[in-house]
Structure 1
């Protein structure tokens, strides 16, 4: 399983909750976006990008590719990374992977386009150079 997560500097382990399942008896598609959010916020904590009073992150776009259905009981690992070549003036792209411990395989993959946002001015802002260099160093550990 470590091979599936080796390219992701932030990995969060989480139990699949009974309440995450729907009438089809598998984890509902919307829950994966909460899994991604958990990974994203943990990643931002690691790189110190959680200031919502000045320039901080805002989610502009997200997607999920489902590989196979998760069910209760299981434990998952959520891997999160930033794609180093994805930086542009106002943001970057993150990538997620959700791995089932029970099946030892990827259950879903996702992406998110993050925009750097000036919360005081209520508008997008250029990616701070210090943030970019911190993320690039973090990704190259």
Structure 2
């Protein structure tokens, strides 16, 4: 697993639940977006973005998300979702995800999300602070993940 998720500084373990499967006997396609959300929030917690939101009223808003299904996942299984920030602009960043199936020993799913920093007091997007940029660099450095 480590080799397949190399470069992902945050790895979230998620057990597959029986109820996540659909009539075709594999995890339903919408569930993967929940897996990505769980991994994204884990990354945000490490960045202290949720604490910042409470203090400043500025936080992340999902702009766009995408998923590519490679291999079906079934119950029982344990997934390891790698997440990283792969691109950062003035007011937005892109996160990348890879889902590794413990049962299959392979990457089953990949995806990305575009996230915009948003000021909830003014209802407008806002710049990513220097402090957040430093925290991102520190997290990315844990796994030698390169930020473009």
Q: Cα offset for 1:140?
A: 1.2
The offset of 1:137, in angstroms, is 1.9
For residues 72 and 12 of structure 1, the distance between their equivalents in structure 2, rounded to whole angstroms, comes to 18
Aligned length: 139
Cα offset, 1:68, TM superposition: 0.5
In the other structure, the counterpart of 1:124 is: 125
Greater shift after overlay, 37-46 or 130-139?
130-139
Q: Distance in 1 between matches of 2:61 and 2:74?
A: 30
C-alpha distance after superposition, 1:91-110 (max 9, x if no partner): 11000111100011001001
SS in 1 for 2:22: coil
TM-score normalized by the length of structure 2: 0.91
| Deviation digits for residues 13-38 of structure 1 (CA, Å, limit 9, x no counterpart) | 11100000001110000000000000
- Where 1:5 maps in the other structure, the secondary structure is coil
**Is the deviation greater in 45-54 or in 56-65?**
45-54
> How far is 1:6 from its partner?
1.8
* In 1, Cα distance between equivalents of 2:29 and 2:53: 28
Match of 1:13 in 2: 13
Task: Measure how far apart 1:52 and its partner are.
Answer: 3.1
Deviation at 1:90?
1.1
For 1:71-110, what aligned pairs fall within 5 Å after superposition?
71-83=74-86, 86-110=87-111
Gaps of 5+ in 2: 143-148
Q: Distance between the aligned counterparts of 2:62 and 2:93, measured in 1?
A: 10
SS of the residue aligned with 1:72?
coil
What displacement does 1:59 show? 0.3
- Distance in 1 of aligned mates of 2:129 and 2:92: 10
CA distance in 2 between partners of 1:11 and 1:89 (Å): 26
CA distance in 2, matches of 1:72, 1:66: 16
- Structure 1 moving runs of 4+ over 3 Å: none
Give the structure 2 partner of residue 59 of structure 1.
Answer: 62
Q: Which residue is equivalent to 1:113? A: 114
Task: Using the TM superposition, name which of 47-56 and 93-102 deviates more.
Answer: 47-56
Aligned to 2:146: none
